[in-house]
Amino acid sequence: MRVATDAPKDALSPVPLTAVTIEDRFWAPRLRVNREATIPHAYAQCEETGRIEAFRLAWRPGMEPRPHFFWDSDVAKWLEAACFALATHPDREHEALVERVVALIASAQQSDGYLNTYFTMVEPERRWTDLRDAHELYCAGHLIEAGVAHYAATGRRTLLDVVSRYADHIGGVFGRAPGQKRGYCGHEEIELALVKLHQATGDARYLNLARYFVDERGTTPYYFAVEAAERGTPGHFGGFMDHMRDSARYNQSHQPVREQDEAVGHSVRAMYLYSAMADLARADGDAALRAACDRLWQDVVGRHMYLTGGVGSSAANEGFTGDYDLPNETAYAETCATCGLVFWAHRMLHLDGDGRYADVMERALYNGVLSGVSLDGRRFFYANPLASLGGAHRQAWFGCACCPPNVARLLASLGAYVASQGAAEAAVHLYAQGSMRLNLAGEDVRLRQRTDYPWEGRVVFEVGLGRAVRFALRLRLPGWCRGPALRVNGEAQDLAACAARGYARIERVWVDGDRVELDLPMPVERVYAHPEVAADVGRVALQRGPLVYCLEGVDNAAHPVHRTLLPAGSPFAAAFEADTLGGVVVLTGSGASLDDDGFDARVPYRYGRPGLRTFPVRAVPYCLWDNREPGEMRVWLPEVQLG
Amino acid sequence: MRVATDAPKDALSPVPLTAVTIEDRFWAPRLRVNREATIPHAYAQCEETGRIEAFRLAWRPGMEPRPHFFWDSDVAKWLEAACFALATHPDREHEALVERVVALIASAQQSDGYLNTYFTMVEPERRWTDLRDAHELYCAGHLIEAGVAHYAATGRRTLLDVVSRYADHIGGVFGRAPGQKRGYCGHEEIELALVKLHQATGDARYLNLARYFVDERGTTPYYFAVEAAERGTPGHFGGFMDHMRDSARYNQSHQPVREQDEAVGHSVRAMYLYSAMADLARADGDAALRAACDRLWQDVVGRHMYLTGGVGSSAANEGFTGDYDLPNETAYAETCATCGLVFWAHRMLHLDGDGRYADVMERALYNGVLSGVSLDGRRFFYANPLASLGGAHRQAWFGCACCPPNVARLLASLGAYVASQGAAEAAVHLYAQGSMRLNLAGEDVRLRQRTDYPWEGRVVFEVGLGRAVRFALRLRLPGWCRGPALRVNGEAQDLAACAARGYARIERVWVDGDRVELDLPMPVERVYAHPEVAADVGRVALQRGPLVYCLEGVDNAAHPVHRTLLPAGSPFAAAFEADTLGGVVVLTGSGASLDDDGFDARVPYRYGRPGLRTFPVRAVPYCLWDNREPGEMRVWLPEVQLG
């Protein structure tokens, strides 16, 4: 059934994280806070809550806190983030902590390779009996990702070997051979982790195991029914899952993945599964799997994605609902799911290099991912609503603490998303002042970006080369930009001729000191949602460059945000304000609201449209809301014609 | 603390249910369906689900279904509805069934007067130990209301005596004397029931007990903490209630009722409590209690009421949230709560005769109550959203089946809401073709209404009298009407002179054959919500007379309702269509929607406002939606200016 095809000749590969530096005034301070505040904060939370201690395997029945079967994954994601930070910013103290945690995790491995604190201590008799709910392979996946990141950051195989042994153990338990369990995890994650383990070790068994988990999913007989029957007791989620109308759709096991064409169920699970599918489609040149990825991509970004890149609109299933069902106040848009969309988009981008994937990656990073963490790095949004009457605020931690370390590991590895390279081609996806070192046509190439992106749209690239070399430089032309312009060494380029699939492509013999200027005009744009998005009918949002803006109560105290309409066609001005939110471009323009004079206090309704008054409004980037006084916020505002 | 004041001299009293007939083409068919379909259907459901059988007290541990502690109330409400129907429409077969159920209920009474199937059979050792959650006094209240209705309908004291003995038992258990429990119910209901029992029996002890329950609520020491400590085990709602942020606010026991000024918690509980407070304020001329009622009224109708009269916007607590928090798609607006608002409004109206209470009563009856039951009388809405993408539909019954019998008993007693009488004054609150018999200034007075209300606003009253008599006739001038006109025997009346507090008042010596013509113009009105109602900013609704309209998918198949905007200022026409929904006035006008041509399939967002196209739309009364093909519905539509 699988048709192997060659990967495209010009296939791009991700660049190593350490090949890129980011030295801008947008991301660099956030990445520093991520290293200096978020990662230590997350470690402290893991320690305080017993998650670190659990790896000592000292818990005994009756002791509090009782470990939870999620816990290993939180520590693993923290460790992965810590390793990424270590890779870009070596620090002896930080490294010592990483090594202590690595040693602690290694010490919890059982003699057969098994490594899960919960099922070693709390329910040892239930190992591998509740794949649907107990997150056992999910935790394994995160440990594997941590092992790969630790190896990449330090060159030390300590944890890589540990997780390889664990993966070997898992490979013995699961599969299609006689005596093996035909299972897969109720929370996808191990699939993409095994692909990474294959990339790090070169061992094809891990890719095979990833393929098995992906392809076995949703086949008949249905494994989660088989395991429930064998177990004879409710799963760990018990009644909760039984109340889910369809737990198979919840975890994307309702049909074989190659047949899926609709994003359903829990959104983080979906994003991780689709990421693994894209990995395997690329590794195997698997056209059928690729086609499934394309269908799912089109469904997710075309019908289920918020303007902010958030996906999974419903709290009830932490996931997908109907097409275009994108309510604002109740938007779930879990931070982890938006991180997952970045992971998936990055993989899709490496399948065919189309800028539309990078557009989504950028949309999610600058908006729905970054909103997940406060400016001080110590408070987090789990859900990311697009409107709030004032009740939504970041929290220091969560009982189910998936989001904080997820955003931490993504930010710590941001450099890896900036560019990709092929044999003789570099592609720049994200613009941020800094530099990158690539290897193109066998030569070391330095590319320096000078820009104030995303505050300004001008980006200058300086090429650093030992000797002249021919390669293609592809620069992304963001989907949000309506009039890009490009000069090479001062000479204007004809984008109609050199742009394709979202990138300008300049192939030439480059010499040291060559200079490329990309100009991405950034007017304030009024955004309209597809008419099928019922929640946004009659509404408008503001965007400038990649940043979605919002009105926040603290900036608009005189006129409550929930009452504010935007007059059609009235202009907005953009200006950088150094003292606002650490330095941001603020949008200023006119808002309007209905008079309440004509209302009888007896009833909040009246006939005939009340008069309108206009007043100044200020908008700030959505990703930075709730960093000042608590209050309300709104992205989509009703539009009104004056006069 | 309580200051007794005289009730106002011109205080109105409700008219007996049997004094009013309704013979119109709006309500009369619905009341017939209520008698012939809903009441038998509800009985069948009570029988099928074991609710009737429970009164045989034959359940033993292990048998299925296990009775629920709600069940008695469902049967009691059914019986109350059945008795109301019997009062207005005697029927031997129906009466025989009523008597069988009465006998069955009587047979379940214990020798000490106690009468609760659940706590007699299922948990006899836990009688009166969980007032917060177990609805024990709530069930008693509904039995009492049934007993009063049975007595009124048949003149037989069978059930009245049974519930009086039960009330005597309750009066022994609860109170402030030594050895008594200082408790009250977690779900208010018994308070208003005891007032009715007092009215039916003349026994002051029942009014005293009602007063005790109302005034004890929310005092210190806090009873629900006391009983939990004494019991030592979780309440019947256990974890659910513990997860409620504040269960005291949930059941309005967070402070003494006289100090309350904000509607909080479960909305049905609140409406029943406030109804009892209004009853006692009237019975006792209690100014402090009256002041609390006024404050709560202003809060509920001024800041928490949907255009349809629905109250309690949140499903999470089935109740009240923040001021002006009136989301449309997720509107809970439980049918029972809207019934409760009618009960309360009717009582407030009898406190001071102001038309604003009748306005709310009418708003709720014609919209949010009537929406609770299908045209065929066999399907029910529990929640009454003001917008649906197609997922909300009436159901045949509910596990928690409070709403169907509640709407059945309210409709079966509708005549009692039409008018009130004082010593020499009649007040007509609701317009519906039919007649009423009143006693004014010692004379029998017949008032005949001729009207096609609510389809047309002309109402003609014909006075029938044995001899000339002086009395005042007050006719409500609905708050929705902007230009009422009045003639007496053809002579125009100066409403500026004779109208006050929502009624035109004509005091004169009336003679047989006098004729009063009230003209209430009913243009199609565009309604705007108070600017604080965030969900409706930029939106408009349509109303004609007392009826709120909606767009339903089945009428607007060519242009999905969720995409539809209403062009500002475009006219709507109203025309009666005999073939639509059993005969309704349909509104027709123009809608508009954004083109989707300009959208890239890759992402559901674009810059610049898409073009608008216009098309015809049809609107039908909200109360009748979801009676044809299932589909979407919307009351509040975004308004847009064309051109």
Q: Are A377 and A41 in contact (CB under 8 A)?
A: yes
Which of B318, B334, B517, B632 is labelled catalytic? B318
Q: Would an 8 Å CB–CB cutoff place B128 in contact with chain A?
A: no
CA–CA dist B81, A489 (Å, integer)? 88
Helix (H) or strand (E) run with residue B434 in it: strand B434-440
CA distances from A297 to A187, A275, A384 (A): 19, 10, 21
Q: Would an 8 Å CB–CB cutoff place A521 in contact with chain B?
A: no
Q: Are B466 and B444 in contact (CB under 8 A)?
A: yes
Residues of B in contact with A594 (CB under 8 A): 528, 531, 537
Average pLDDT across chain A, whole number: 94
Q: What is the pLDDT of residue A405?
A: 94
Residues of B in contact with A608 (CB under 8 A): 525-526, 528
Contacts of A272 (CB under 8 A, 6+ apart): A187, A188, A189, A191, A192, A340, A343
Beta strands in A572-630 (DSSP E): 573-577, 584-594, 605-607, 612-621
Q: What is the DSSP string of B201-252?
A: H--HHHHHHHHHHHHHTT-SS-HHHHHHHHH-S--TTHHHHHHSS-HHHHTT
Nearest CA in chain A to B327: A329
- pLDDT reading at B367 higher than 50: yes
Q: Looking at the complex, report in whole angstroms how far the Cα of residue A318 sits from the nearest Cα belonging to chain B.
A: 17
Active site residues of A: 318, 402
Nearest CA in chain B to A544: B607
A 10 A CB-CB count for B509 gives 10
Residues of B in contact with A307 (CB under 8 A): 605
**In this predicted model, what pLDDT tens digit does every residue of B491-512 receive, in sequence order?**
999 999 999 999 999 999 999 9
Q: What is the pLDDT of residue B598?
A: 79
Which residues of A, range 552-611, sit inside 8 Å of B by Cβ? 560, 562-565, 568, 593-596, 599, 601-610
Nearest CA in chain B to A390: B322
pLDDT-based confidence at A2, cuts 50/70/90?
very low
Nearest CA in chain B to A295: B602
Q: Which of A357, A464, A465 is nearest to A417 (CA)?
A: A357
Known catalytic residue at B318: yes
Residues of B in contact with A597 (CB under 8 A): none
Option in B325, B565, B606 nearest A538 (CB): B565
Q: Would an 8 Å CB–CB cutoff place A537 in contact with chain B?
A: yes
Cα pseudo-dihedral B23, B26, B30, B35, rounded to 10: -10
Q: Are B108 and B165 in contact (CB under 8 A)?
A: no
- Tell me the pTM: 0.90
Option in A387, A389, A565 nearest B325 (CB): A389
Q: Looking at the complex, report in whole angstroms how far the Cα of residue B412 sits from the nearest Cα belonging to chain A.
A: 28
pLDDT-based confidence at B147, cuts 50/70/90?
very high
**In this predicted model, what pLDDT tens digit does every residue of B399-445 receive, in sequence order?**
888 899 999 999 999 999 999 999 999 999 999 999 999 999 999 99
What is the mean pLDDT of the segment spanning B363-385? 97
CB hemisphere CA count around A325 (13 angstroms): 18
Known catalytic residue at B139: no
Tell me how many residue pairs between chain A and chain B have CB atoms under 8 A apart. Answer: 161
Q: What angle do CA B378, B380, B382 make, to 5 degrees?
A: 160
Residues of B in contact with A298 (CB under 8 A): 601-602
Q: Looking at the complex, report in whole angstroms how far the Cα of residue A582 sits from the nearest Cα belonging to chain B.
A: 28
Which residues of B, range 306-345, sit inside 8 Å of A by Cβ? 307, 322, 324-325, 327, 329-330
Q: Looking at the complex, report in whole angstroms how far the Cα of residue B596 sits from the nearest Cα belonging to chain A.
A: 6
**In this predicted model, what pLDDT tens digit does every residue of A394-448 receive, in sequence order?**
999 888 888 999 999 999 999 999 999 999 999 999 999 999 999 999 999 999 9
Nearest CA in chain A to B322: A389
Q: Looking at the complex, report in whole angstroms how far the Cα of residue B73 sits from the nearest Cα belonging to chain A.
A: 27
For residues A5 and A345, the model is more confident at: A345
Q: What is the pLDDT of residue A125?
A: 95
> Which phi and psi (to 5°) does residue A400 adopt?
-100, 95
Contacts of A179 (CB under 8 A, 6+ apart): none
Sheet holding B443-451, edge to edge: B20-22, B434-440, B443-451, B458-465, B515-519, B485-488, B491-492
Which residues of B, range 357-416, sit inside 8 Å of A by Cβ? 359-360, 389
- pLDDT reading at B167 higher than 80: yes
Average pLDDT across chain B, whole number: 94
Sign of CA dihedral B210, B212, B218, B222: negative
**In this predicted model, what pLDDT tens digit does every residue of A229-243 receive, in sequence order?**
999 888 888 755 554
Q: Which of A230, A274, A262 is nearest to A132 (CA)?
A: A230
